[in-house]
Amino acid sequence: MSLKNEVVDVIAKDRKYLWHAMSPYNEQVPPMVVTEGKGSWITDLNGNRYLDAMSGLWCVNVGYGREEMAKAAYDQLVTMPYYPLSQSHLPAIKLAEKLNEWLEDDYVIFFSNSGSDANETAFKIVRQYHQQTGNPNKYKFVSRYRAYHGNSMGALAATGQAQRKYKYEPLGGGFLHVRPPDSYRRPEGISVEEFNLQCARDIEQTIIWEGKETIAAVIMEPVITGGGMIVPHQIYLDEVQQICKRHNVLLIIDEVICGVGRSGRKFGHMNYNVKPDIVTMAKGLTSGYLPLSATAVRKDIYEAFKSQEDYSHLRHVNTFGGTPAACALALKNLEIMERENLVERARDLGESLEAGMAELREHPLVGDIRTFGFLMGIEVVQDKATKEPLPLAQVNKIIGECKAKGLIIGKNGDTVAGFNNVLTFSPPLSCTDEDLDFIITTFKAVMYNQ
C-alpha cells in the first residue's frame, strides 16, 4: 500500500471509530495522526515534523522519546505490574517521599489518574475534614471565573468557564465563583496592585455574604493557565492566604499545569511564598508518559482521618491511581529533571522567550503578553485601545499558519464566550536553544504576516 493510500485508510478508520476531545466534527479537516516524538518535535503520518510548543496538553515536560522513562516503566511492569493502593507498594512509597521533598513541607499523598481526579479527591477530603473537626456546615468552595479545574462533575462545577459547562449542567452543588485578577482588563485609573487586592477581597466578601460557617475551601491555580494565562500580582496570593486563615477556610492550590518545574520553581505557588493546605498535581508529574496525579494533603489535616469512629476514614478509591509503573516512571521523571536542572532551565527559557517576543507588544493585534516560568499567553485583540478580542476565526488562522510552518501552539479554547483569544505556549522544559529560536522566529513571522 502506498503512503497516500495508507493515510487515507487510517483517516477513514479514525473517523469511523474514534471520538476526539474538544474537537467539533469537521469532514473537511482530517485529524493530525502523530506517529513519533523526539525531544520537542513530533512527526505525523505524512512525515511532517512539528515543534510541539504545547508539550502535548501542557504536560511533556522532559520531552518526547526518553528511553530511560520507558525502561523504568517496563522494569516495574515485569517486576510487579499492579496492586491497588488500598494496601501499598514500594514505588508509591518512594514517590510520596520524593514529592514531600519537592514540596518542601509535610504532606500525605493520595494518588489518582488525572488532574480532575486529584481535585475531586481534594473536594471530598475537605468536606469530610470539616465534618470531623466540628464544622459540618462548611461545604462550599470558592473558585474564579475563567479558571479550569477538570472535566468530572465536581471539578467542572469548580471550573469558571461557561462554554465548558453548557449542556452538562446541573453539576455538583456548592461551588461559587468570583472575578479573576485579570490585570490587563482592570478598570481605568487603578493600579495593578490595588486591582489585585480588590479581586482577593472579592473572595472575602463572598465568604462573608455566603456565611463563613459554610465555606470549606478556596481552590485556585497559582496562574489561571488554560483560561487565558492570567498571572496575578504577588499581593493577590498573599491576601488570599490571609483571608483563608481568618475564616478557617482551606486553600487548595491546583498545580496540574503550573507544577513540577513548569514555573521555574518546583511548584508554582512557591513563586508567591504561600503554604497551601492541599496541593493537586498531574500532567508534568510523569511528563505525560503514563496517567498519574496526586493530591498532597497537609499532615495536620490527615490527622483528622485517624479516628476509629464509623465513617471517619476516607472512603475513596481509585483502581488505577498510583500504579507501580506510573510511580516508577514519575520517579525517573523527577530524577531527570534534577539531573538536567530542568526547573532552573524553565526559568531561563521563560525569560528568553519573553525577551524574544517583547517586540510583538507593539504589534497592532497584540494586546498583552503574559509569562510565568516557561508558560506564555499572548492576548490578541482587534483594537488595542478598546481591547476588543480578536474574532475566533482570526485566532484559529494564526494557529493554522503556525502549524503550516511546523509550529504547534494553543489557545484558551471553549472557555468564556468572546474571550477565546489568548494564544498559549507551554514547550518542553528540555527545549534546546535552537528549539526556542525556532518558536520565536516562526511565530513572529506569522504575526507580521497578519
Predicted confidence (pLDDT) at residue 13 exceeds the cutoff of 90? yes
Per residue in 239-264, pLDDT (tens digit) is 999 999 999 999 999 999 999 999 99
Q: What is the DSSP letter of 137?
A: T
Q: What is the DSSP letter of 144?
A: E
CA distance 354 to 120: 35
3-state secondary structure of 141: strand
CA distance 25 to 205: 43
Q: CATH classification of 3-62+341-447 is 3.90.1150.10, yes or no?
A: yes
Summarize the confidence of residues 178-197 as an average pLDDT. Answer: 97
Closest CA to 444 of 382, 365, 371, 385: 365
Summarize the confidence of residues 317-321 as an average pLDDT. Answer: 96
| 129 phi/psi in degrees, rounded to 5 | -55, -50
- Domain residue ranges in the chain: 3-62+341-447, 67-339
Predicted confidence (pLDDT) at residue 1 exceeds the cutoff of 70? no
pLDDT at res. 246: 97
Half-sphere exposure of 109 (CA within 13 A, CB side): 26
Share of the chain above pLDDT 90, in %: 95
CA distance 79 to 342: 30
Residue with cell 486591582: 195
Burial of 448 from C-beta contacts in 10 A (0-12 / 13-18 / 19+):
exposed
Neighbours of 232 (CB within 10 A): 27
The reply to whether 67-339 shares the fold of 3-62+341-447 is no
pLDDT band, very low/low/confident/very high, at 201 (cuts 50, 70, 90) = very high
State yes or no: cis peptide before 30, omega within 30 of 0. no
Pinpoint the alpha helices (H) of 159-191.
Answer: 162-165
Please indicate whether residue 3 or residue 296 has the higher confidence score (pLDDT): 296
Summarize the confidence of residues 53-61 as an average pLDDT. Answer: 98
pLDDT band, very low/low/confident/very high, at 28 (cuts 50, 70, 90) = confident
pLDDT band, very low/low/confident/very high, at 30 (cuts 50, 70, 90) = confident
CA distance 63 to 337: 11
Per residue in 271-302, pLDDT (tens digit) is 999 999 999 999 999 999 999 999 999 999 99
Predicted confidence (pLDDT) at residue 84 exceeds the cutoff of 80? yes
CA distance 8 to 121: 43
Residue with cell 524553565: 346
Closest CA to 370 of 304, 427, 423: 423
Predicted confidence (pLDDT) at residue 307 exceeds the cutoff of 90? no
Fold of 67-339: Aspartate Aminotransferase; domain 2 (3.40.640)
pLDDT at res. 7: 86
CA distance 195 to 235: 10
User: How does the average pLDDT of the chain come out, rounded?
Assistant: 97
